[in-house]
């Protein structure tokens, strides 16, 4: 095969092996190459968009986890308050102080059994 026919002795064309030759051929023909400055300015933008999107997703997940922990703590506190009120009401005939003391004795172990910290992890409290 001759070079003029588009082939080389190695099996590929000379233009395929030398990117500078492609740019030179494009300039001679009056065609702009796609390897110019326009393409270089956009390089890596998709990576930045992906990193930004991942940051937003992570932030939404953290907010969701914290809201779930807060709701769980609220439900636990409501259950303890209801239990204390029922326990106190069952001893209302013993007097106000005795009823309140019994309600506190019943509710305190429920509240302190598992305290949920601000980070959402359960810790044992003594």
Task: Give tens-digit pLDDT for 24-52.
Answer: 665 666 555 555 555 556 677 889 999 99
- Quote the pTM value: 0.48
Give the pLDDT of residue 110: 76
Query: What mean pLDDT, rounded, does the chain reach?
Result: 75
Residue whose structure tokens are 């030398």: 18
Helix (H, G, I), strand (E, B) or coil at 10: coil
| Residue 112 pLDDT | 74
Q: Position of tokens 């300015």? A: 41
Query: How many separate helices (H) and strands (E) can be counted in the chain?
Result: 5, 2
């Amino acid at each position: 095969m001759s070079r003029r026919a588009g082939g080389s002795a190695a099996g590929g064309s000379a233009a395929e092996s030398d990117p500078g030759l492609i740019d030179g051929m494009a300039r001679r023909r009056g065609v702009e190459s796609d390897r110019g400055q326009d393409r270089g300015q956009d390089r890596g933008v998709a990576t930045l968009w992906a990193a930004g999107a991942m940051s937003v997703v992570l932030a939404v997940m953290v907010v969701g986890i914290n809201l779930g922990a807060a709701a769980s703590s609220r439900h636990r506190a409501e259950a303890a308050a209801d239990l204390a009120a029922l326990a106190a009401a069952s001893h209302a005939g013993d007097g106000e102080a005795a009823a309140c003391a019994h309600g506190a004795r019943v509710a305190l172990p429920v509240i302190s059994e598992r305290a949920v910290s601000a980070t959402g992890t359960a810790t044992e409290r003594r």
